[in-house]
Chain A
């Protein structure tokens, strides 16, 4: 008769070796050792201890080609056009937040074991990292984070809307604590960054991990990629994201903090990059349309202006995007469409019509845009220009490109009405003769 444990081992299967299991475990890694290895201080709250690591970056600090001083906000607060990134008014004190977690799935069993916070202070950039050195200290750690965040005016994150903030809110909820981030304006830099700086994915990943096949991602906008493109910074010996939970578990099970040092550094680099990328975006928006260096950047800036109802700036950006030569056909079509739409909002109808005509002249115009352009031109020519026969040409084209039944129906109505008007016109002409 086998024991329960034996049967359980049969059910659970053999332990899977982690990446560090070949290292000899070091039980001697004591608490003091942890603070030494990670260069931090112990904080205590309600009898629970957690580690806090503080760093300060001086104005002369170089992050690749970028000097920290170039990224500093105006001394009297934040960049004036920062609110374009949050789409609402932003408070003065920016707090950059980035978590390292025990998994990416979320849910009650995913912990934020490292809460990294960064902020500008005087001429420096400062980082404070709260480290969950033991699970029992989570409540104390969260309370400390809440105290810290109490004075914040705006949270800035990278993909924080869908990941970091919900995750840490779950941790606060689990301890029945109010979340300090709930009502704050939140700039998730992932979205503006995607608009302005996403790049063609150079790593064509098609590897199979487990049973999931990763499809090719056409564009990438990872923070480390951005950092390379915008700051020219190459990370050396950076720890890969997927390795991070294993390093923490290694610490939990065997008490070995050494693999964590690289995780802390990774978190700090992410915060620095986030701050500098945010600074770059804010600066661009302040400098205006002429500052855009690429078509993609111009298009992205235009969208941000447009969302903030700065339509004149938006139109200028879209114009710039269509005139720059580095964009592809698809981008040009998008930019022309955006230009036409914003021109119409500004009641610059002829500019809009010209842009729609340019769209239709593109060799590879995407079908939905072709449809939209034909319709806009048909409307414009019929109602504003009274050029019925040209309007009819576009209505015919509309019938060609429309695929849905209601849209085709609408196109037929339009065509019928134009035909009636044309007939009436020709009769009028005959009568005049």
Chain B
């Protein structure tokens, strides 16, 4: 919160030298997609803009801020503090290291100083972030307590974390003494709200709810959070408090919209940062092609190693982001080989990822802040705001998947006023290649939209149960955007609630006013059955039978069949296990450790049936039924990715109702394709492969958030399958479905439908711009999977669709 900002000329010089070597001394030049360094951008330094302390801030707080060298505020801090003190909900979006914590800590502490009964609840997306904040808040609370004591007061500001790690015997004390509770959505959902009577003091006096890293709550998690906040505000109403929400977010396209969707209240937006920024260079690197025909590039990990070395050998402190735990370990090994200190000395190169013990993580964070750690290789675990101090360079091995996450990672370098650099090394994945070919998409376009759908029935019903458990609903109460009374009536059929009192329909018609209540009449504790990170809390556990029976992992119900089918290879921290038996009913997979040189990839056949079309003609969105079945698997050799065998499987079908976007390829377009039937099919398959990548890019979602399927969308159609799980023959008017991969849908389909034109245009650009000859993993999929004509047929289909649409537009 109070970083010492200073310029270090030695670092600037070293950085300039490294950049000169990489770019041949031309820091600003025209983008060249075929060069090794495709893009170099210089982001100029920004001067700080200041504002004085608000009159409304408590003088004691201003005093301790001055003691710590803060004589004035940045403009965005002043604006956010003013909104918060005036009781207006506010969301602040500012870059990493712009002092965002003061935006919420200042109004909260000031309010507590003025009224010691006031309480605040902070929500962080991870426990580690709460721990990180705890230390800082503790210091300030201590200073304030001392300051207050010197003036004859005796205010002790209690700051505590309350999460799954909090010992049982400490919980009562925390409930009594905490002014500020640092927690997370999961804990509020399952540990605080259901026990609200014990938290009466907090809820009666709750003045602020702080939600940090708001952008983390998108998709399913965000849809759940909205419901948790609906319940929270309902409990607050019961206790007579109306807290002000102060949220911080990384830069996304719709921060205010997201905040308003999550909290369901109007928000003020503070988005202009007043913090200074040092000069920063942003480089895109595309590893050279080594096999043009197959579109294979040099390994991006080796490339990352080489780039990181350029900085490390000039003693620049560097953070390397990798896309997976495995890649993190590999890169850590590489860099240790190159730069590790003598044995016995302090390790200067460290790895960092989820799964490391907290103590080890704290030690690495401290080493980074103090400079004893020169380089860290991390998964996205360090992307969120854990304090690791100011680094010089950030190297990203692979595109992080979203613009927002990329900026956030890049922000890890360049906290100082001095020069810094961020380097993105593209892998051959389609998204990566798209980004290096379209740098303006990254630099100039607005970042992604975060989408949520809190009224997804599956999610909503779960939370109505939790809310009914917490406090009986009245017969006139509302909740979310469905008819609550109808939801409760159906829950009553299942014995979950019981309606007591209140007028009958005829009495109501006669003007009876008194409300009845819906009482919870079930012995379960409903929050336990709801996981905020998924729609269903059902899962498969993985049991290692190598020595006895140890549970070594778990997998969501949806991905169980495709990752835990018999003979599947299951990986844990680079150790290989083979599934010997999948007990589908018991939700258990029994595995045994083995030694082999391949992994497995399941072939899933997915069939989509249209239930209801909401909107559209050539492209539509609507409600669909999705059934998928794992029909087989491929064995794929490590490193070479050769296909070394396969097997057939027969697993139970998984079904769900969800929403989808789909593109219909009209009969006329199919008929106009001058290719054989098999090639036409390959073209559609290839097109769907490319569309999926672009959809993922446009929707700012994870790979598994959406699914793809090809078919007629009609009921009862049966077909033989290709080796890759696609229908062997296509119907006359095939459709490409991109469906929301969660029961009920979490809101991806409609926005995708609205972006239909952009989706097609960018898909065309992706395929046309790819330099492979017949298709590769970057565009329509590898030739081995999609067939030799896929690329040209896919492009032809898009062209025909374009003219088809133009003709329609003309005739209309």
Residue positions of A touching B, CB distance < 8 A: 1, 4-5, 7-16, 18, 102-110, 134-136, 170-171, 173-174, 176, 211, 245-246, 249, 252-253
Interface centre among A14, A136, A246 (most CB of B within 10 A): A136
Given A8-B487, A12-B490, A249-B521: A108 in contact with B197 (beta carbons within 8 A): yes
Task: Return the CB mask of B509-540 against A: 1 if under 8 Å, else 0.
Answer: 00000000101111111111000000000000
Asked whether B612 lies within 8 Å of A108 as measured between CB atoms, the reply is no
Contacting residues of chain B (194-226) with chain A, CB-CB under 8 angstroms? 194-198, 200
Asked whether B194 lies within 8 Å of A107 as measured between CB atoms, the reply is yes
19 more contacts with CB within 8 A, not counting A15-B495, A108-B469, are A4-B486, A10-B657, A11-B458, A12-B494, A14-B494, A105-B523, A105-B524, A105-B525, A106-B195, A107-B527, A109-B525, A110-B523, A135-B472, A135-B517, A136-B500, A170-B195, A171-B197, A211-B587, A246-B523
Bound CA–CA A238/B490 (angstroms): 34
**How near does chain B come to A185, taking the closest CB pair, in angstroms?**
19
**How near does chain A come to B541, taking the closest CB pair, in angstroms?**
9
B649: chain A residues within 8 A (beta carbon): none
Asked whether A15 lies within 8 Å of B200 as measured between CB atoms, the reply is no
Q: Find B486's partner among A8, A108, A245 (CB 8 Å cutoff).
A: A8
**How near does chain B come to A248, taking the closest CB pair, in angstroms?**
8
Given A5-B489, A108-B194, A176-B200: A252 in contact with B519 (beta carbons within 8 A): yes
Asked whether A15 lies within 8 Å of B493 as measured between CB atoms, the reply is yes
Bound CA–CA A173/B527 (angstroms): 21
Bound CA–CA A100/B197 (angstroms): 20
Asked whether B198 lies within 8 Å of A11 as measured between CB atoms, the reply is no
Closest to A17 in B: B495
Closest to A138 in B: B519
B486: chain A residues within 8 A (beta carbon): 4-5, 8
Asked whether A11 lies within 8 Å of B195 as measured between CB atoms, the reply is no
**How near does chain A come to B39, taking the closest CB pair, in angstroms?**
48
Bound CA–CA A252/B498 (angstroms): 7
Pick 22 A–B contacts, CB within 8 A, sort by A: A4-B482, A4-B483, A4-B487, A5-B489, A5-B490, A8-B486, A8-B490, A12-B461, A15-B493, A18-B495, A102-B522, A105-B524, A106-B525, A108-B471, A109-B526, A110-B525, A135-B517, A136-B501, A136-B517, A173-B197, A249-B498, A249-B521
Bound CA–CA A105/B520 (angstroms): 13
**How near does chain B come to A345, taking the closest CB pair, in angstroms?**
27
Contacting residues of chain B (553-607) with chain A, CB-CB under 8 angstroms? 586-587
Interface centre among B197, B483, B489, B498 (most CB of A within 10 A): B197
Residue positions of B touching A, CB distance < 8 A: 194-198, 200, 457-458, 461, 468-472, 482-483, 486-487, 489-491, 493-495, 498, 500-501, 517, 519-528, 586-587, 612, 657, 744
A246: chain B residues within 8 A (beta carbon): 523
Asked whether B458 lies within 8 Å of A170 as measured between CB atoms, the reply is no
Given A105-B524, A136-B500: A170 in contact with B198 (beta carbons within 8 A): yes
Closest to A10 in B: B657
CB-CB nearest 5 A-B residue pairs = A109-B469, A105-B525, A103-B523, A173-B197, A107-B194
Interface centre among B517, B525, B527 (most CB of A within 10 A): B525
Asked whether A9 lies within 8 Å of B523 as measured between CB atoms, the reply is no
Asked whether B461 lies within 8 Å of A11 as measured between CB atoms, the reply is yes
Bound CA–CA A245/B525 (angstroms): 13
Asked whether B196 lies within 8 Å of A108 as measured between CB atoms, the reply is yes
Closest to B461 in A: A11
Given A5-B489, A108-B471: A245 in contact with B523 (beta carbons within 8 A): yes
**How near does chain A come to B224, taking the closest CB pair, in angstroms?**
15
Interface centre among B494, B521, B528, B586 (most CB of A within 10 A): B521
**How near does chain B come to A337, taking the closest CB pair, in angstroms?**
26
B744: chain A residues within 8 A (beta carbon): 11
Closest to B238 in A: A174
Bound CA–CA A16/B196 (angstroms): 29
**How near does chain B come to A8, taking the closest CB pair, in angstroms?**
4
Asked whether B461 lies within 8 Å of A8 as measured between CB atoms, the reply is yes
Asked whether A105 lies within 8 Å of B489 as measured between CB atoms, the reply is no
Bound CA–CA A109/B657 (angstroms): 31
Closest to A102 in B: B523
Asked whether A13 lies within 8 Å of B494 as measured between CB atoms, the reply is yes
Bound CA–CA A357/B520 (angstroms): 61
Asked whether B490 lies within 8 Å of A109 as measured between CB atoms, the reply is no
A108: chain B residues within 8 A (beta carbon): 194-197, 469-471
Asked whether B498 lies within 8 Å of A253 as measured between CB atoms, the reply is yes
A103: chain B residues within 8 A (beta carbon): 522-525
Closest to B462 in A: A11
B495: chain A residues within 8 A (beta carbon): 15-16, 18, 249, 253
Bound CA–CA A171/B196 (angstroms): 11
Asked whether A107 lies within 8 Å of B469 as measured between CB atoms, the reply is yes
Bound CA–CA A216/B481 (angstroms): 48
A8: chain B residues within 8 A (beta carbon): 457, 461, 486-487, 490
B482: chain A residues within 8 A (beta carbon): 4
A102: chain B residues within 8 A (beta carbon): 521-523
Bound CA–CA A173/B238 (angstroms): 13
A252: chain B residues within 8 A (beta carbon): 498, 519, 521
**How near does chain B come to A334, taking the closest CB pair, in angstroms?**
25
**How near does chain A come to B523, taking the closest CB pair, in angstroms?**
3
Closest to B468 in A: A109
Asked whether B523 lies within 8 Å of A11 as measured between CB atoms, the reply is no
**How near does chain A come to B379, taking the closest CB pair, in angstroms?**
31
A134: chain B residues within 8 A (beta carbon): 500
Bound CA–CA A246/B471 (angstroms): 20
A245: chain B residues within 8 A (beta carbon): 523
Asked whether B500 lies within 8 Å of A135 as measured between CB atoms, the reply is yes
Asked whether A15 lies within 8 Å of B494 as measured between CB atoms, the reply is yes
Interface centre among A9, A103, A104 (most CB of B within 10 A): A103
A14: chain B residues within 8 A (beta carbon): 494
**How near does chain B come to A172, taking the closest CB pair, in angstroms?**
8
Given A8-B487, A176-B200: A253 in contact with B525 (beta carbons within 8 A): no
Asked whether A104 lies within 8 Å of B197 as measured between CB atoms, the reply is no
Asked whether B521 lies within 8 Å of A253 as measured between CB atoms, the reply is yes
Given A102-B523, A108-B470, A136-B517: A174 in contact with B197 (beta carbons within 8 A): yes
Asked whether B457 lies within 8 Å of A16 as measured between CB atoms, the reply is no
Bound CA–CA A107/B471 (angstroms): 11
A106: chain B residues within 8 A (beta carbon): 195, 525
**How near does chain A come to B475, taking the closest CB pair, in angstroms?**
13
B195: chain A residues within 8 A (beta carbon): 106-108, 170
Asked whether B490 lies within 8 Å of A9 as measured between CB atoms, the reply is yes
Bound CA–CA A107/B467 (angstroms): 12
Interface centre among A1, A107, A136 (most CB of B within 10 A): A107
Bound CA–CA A410/B587 (angstroms): 49
Given A1-B612, A136-B501, A252-B498: A11 in contact with B457 (beta carbons within 8 A): yes
Q: Find B194's partner among A10, A16, A109, A171 (CB 8 Å cutoff).
A: A109
Closest to B487 in A: A8
A249: chain B residues within 8 A (beta carbon): 495, 498, 521-523
Bound CA–CA A16/B522 (angstroms): 11
Q: Find A109's partner among B458, B494, B520 (CB 8 Å cutoff).
A: B520
Bound CA–CA A108/B587 (angstroms): 31
Bound CA–CA A15/B471 (angstroms): 23
**How near does chain A come to B268, taking the closest CB pair, in angstroms?**
33
Asked whether B470 lies within 8 Å of A109 as measured between CB atoms, the reply is yes
B520: chain A residues within 8 A (beta carbon): 109
Interface centre among B471, B482, B493 (most CB of A within 10 A): B493
Closest to A208 in B: B586
**How near does chain B come to A198, taking the closest CB pair, in angstroms?**
23
Bound CA–CA A132/B744 (angstroms): 39
Given A108-B469, A135-B472: A7 in contact with B524 (beta carbons within 8 A): no
Closest to A211 in B: B587
Closest to A171 in B: B197
Closest to A9 in B: B490
B457: chain A residues within 8 A (beta carbon): 7-8, 11
A1: chain B residues within 8 A (beta carbon): 612
Asked whether B468 lies within 8 Å of A173 as measured between CB atoms, the reply is no
